[in-house]
Amino acid sequence: MNDKPEKLIADDGLRLDGRHADEIRPMKIEIGVLSRADGSCYLEWGRNKILVGVFGPREAHPRRSQRANTAVIRYRYNMASFSVEDRARPGPSRRSIEISKVSREAFEPVIMAELFPKTAIDIFVEVLQADAGTRTAAINASSIALADAGIPMKGLVTSCAFGKVDGQIVLDLNKEEDNYGEADFPVAMTQDGEITLLQMDGNLTPDEIRKGFELVKKGCKEILEIQQAVLRKKFETPVEEPEEEAEEAELEVTETEPSLEYATEAAAVEEVIEEAEELEEELSEETFEACAVDEEAPECEKLEEIIKEAEAKVVEGEVIEEVIEAEIEEEAFEEEAEFEAALEASFEEVSEPEETEAFKPEKPVCEEMGFESETEEFAEEAEVEEEPELEEEAGMEEEPELEEEAGIEEELELEEEPQFEEEAGLEEAALEETPESEPEVESEAESRETAPAEQAVEAEQEPEEEKSRGPWKVVKDPSESGSRGENDE
């Protein structure tokens, strides 16, 4: 052990390590350093080096340690035997047990342990290098490791000590100050300022404690800012940036015109052609005269070879260009064809069902009535049927059920008559048909209440004569015509 220095605070007010009385040692924090832990932190504070691993919430073992309504928080402070100048004895000691207890209690007010009954949250602290203030350093590191593990907490816990050195109150004691100072006063607090750890070793007056607390508050504030910055760096920054980039990339893709897909290839082709042309020009200048004099000159032969090569390159480039153009045209043609097919399909979907399902079953009835053109007459019938139905629905919603039948009968008569004035033969049939449209109205109105079986019974009870009278019956519910068919059989 080093001898006691003559002075711990120099005449200029600076401490042995050059700090002012209210300064903390430099702090460095790394988060998520242990892959097997749920959360971890490596912290350097001055010459202290602390490693913390957090595990849980996980099933508490032994089972008798489980608590029915809450998680058990376990905190183990361990000082590596190589962490101090004189070898520390491995295993728990009175000191390490005490530090583990007070540190656990420093976290109990903030960890929301009640969310995880019967589980354990384990905090393992390894002091790799000690230089006074290891319990406070360990608490700061544990706070980060707990957050890294995603343990719900009401806030972070920060810790710092103050002490008395050479009769002065100073913040964050180092080893010499701790060993030769007059007092050491470690404190931990939540980010709301609630004190969760308070110990004192030495003698201090109330005024000194008050002054010391002012320094500790300042120190803890600075530490909290460092902790928050580290956590933000890990949990905020990486999430936001890639999303923005991805969105931008997506926009770029969607905005790109199909023809530009080949921009790179097209540029390459142009380059090949340009290179070939340049080569040809340069060489012809150099050797043109020699060839003009003697066609069999060696320069001339070389020139011819190069010209052929250049021409081949040009041809190659043009071929690639043609292929690209053809591909672009083909793609455009395919897209057009797909669009047309989709359009046709949508037309078919809209027009097919009404013609086939609604009109086919009653085709003989239509012929009986003496219609010349199937399609035109059936189209009119569809209109006749559809309009009253729509109004019936509107009316039914407002009027009470008992009054509905009479009211709707009248409505139907009024609605249907004008439609058939031109068809003298059908007018009578239309009037006769109105009572028969009752079941339809009922089934429309009570469609949510009437069981399908009841509807079938109603259809069966209809007189055979009425069924075949009016062409408007054509648009009856297909299920009715089905039950009718069964009845016929």
- Does position 134 bind ligand UDP by CB under 6 A? yes
CA-CA-CA-CA torsion for 359, 360, 364, 367, nearest 10 degrees?
Answer: 50
Whether the CB-CB separation of 116 and 146 falls below 8 Å is answered with no
Q: Which one-letter amino acid corresponds to residue 250?
A: E
In the complex, the smallest distance separating the C-beta of residue 87 from ligand UDP, rounded to whole angstroms, is: 9
- Does position 130 bind ligand UDP by CB under 6 A? yes
- Does position 135 bind ligand UDP by CB under 6 A? yes
Considering only residues 23, 178, 385, 480, which one is a binding residue for ligand UDP as defined by CB under 6 A?
178
- Measured CA to CA, the distance from residue 435 to residue 76 in angstroms comes to 90
Stretch binding ligand UDP (CB under 6 A), from 80-88, 103-111, 237-245, 255-263: 80-88
The three-state secondary structure class of 158 is strand
- Measured CA to CA, the distance from residue 455 to residue 458 in angstroms comes to 5
In the complex, the smallest distance separating the C-beta of residue 188 from ligand UDP, rounded to whole angstroms, is: 11
- Does position 87 bind ligand UDP by CB under 6 A? no
In the complex, the smallest distance separating the C-beta of residue 109 from ligand UDP, rounded to whole angstroms, is: 20
- Measured CA to CA, the distance from residue 18 to residue 9 in angstroms comes to 9
- Does position 408 bind ligand UDP by CB under 6 A? no
Nearer to ligand UDP, 20 or 95 (CB): 95
Nearer to ligand UDP, 49 or 135 (CB): 135
Stretch binding ligand UDP (CB under 6 A), from 82-90, 205-213, 235-243, 355-363: 82-90
Considering only residues 57, 133, 361, 471, which one is a binding residue for ligand UDP as defined by CB under 6 A?
133
CA-CA-CA-CA torsion for 244, 250, 251, 255, nearest 10 degrees?
Answer: 160
Nearer to ligand UDP, 37 or 88 (CB): 88
Stretch binding ligand UDP (CB under 6 A), from 14-22, 124-132, 450-458, 463-471: 124-132
In the complex, the smallest distance separating the C-beta of residue 62 from ligand UDP, rounded to whole angstroms, is: 30
DSSP one-letter string for 293-345: H-TTSHHHHHHHHHHHHHHHHHHHHHHHHHHHHHHHHHHHHHHHHHHHHHHHH
- Does position 84 bind ligand UDP by CB under 6 A? yes
The first and second tokens of residue 95, run together, are: 């000191």
Whether the CB-CB separation of 381 and 475 falls below 8 Å is answered with yes
- Does position 164 bind ligand UDP by CB under 6 A? no
Nearer to ligand UDP, 88 or 369 (CB): 88
Residues in contact with ligand UDP, counted by CB under 6 A, come to a total of 13
In the complex, the smallest distance separating the C-beta of residue 175 from ligand UDP, rounded to whole angstroms, is: 5
The first and second tokens of residue 405, run together, are: 């039948």
- Measured CA to CA, the distance from residue 477 to residue 357 in angstroms comes to 10
Nearer to ligand UDP, 180 or 213 (CB): 180
The first and second tokens of residue 150, run together, are: 């995603």
- Measured CA to CA, the distance from residue 388 to residue 383 in angstroms comes to 9
Nearer to ligand UDP, 145 or 412 (CB): 145
- Measured CA to CA, the distance from residue 96 to residue 79 in angstroms comes to 8
- Does position 88 bind ligand UDP by CB under 6 A? yes
Q: At what angle do helices 401-419 and 374-398 cross, to 10 degrees?
A: 150
- Does position 177 bind ligand UDP by CB under 6 A? no
- Measured CA to CA, the distance from residue 17 to residue 91 in angstroms comes to 32
Query: If you count them, how many residues does the chain have?
Result: 489
Where along the sequence are the contacts to ligand UDP (CB under 6 A)? 84-85, 88, 95, 130-135, 175, 178, 184
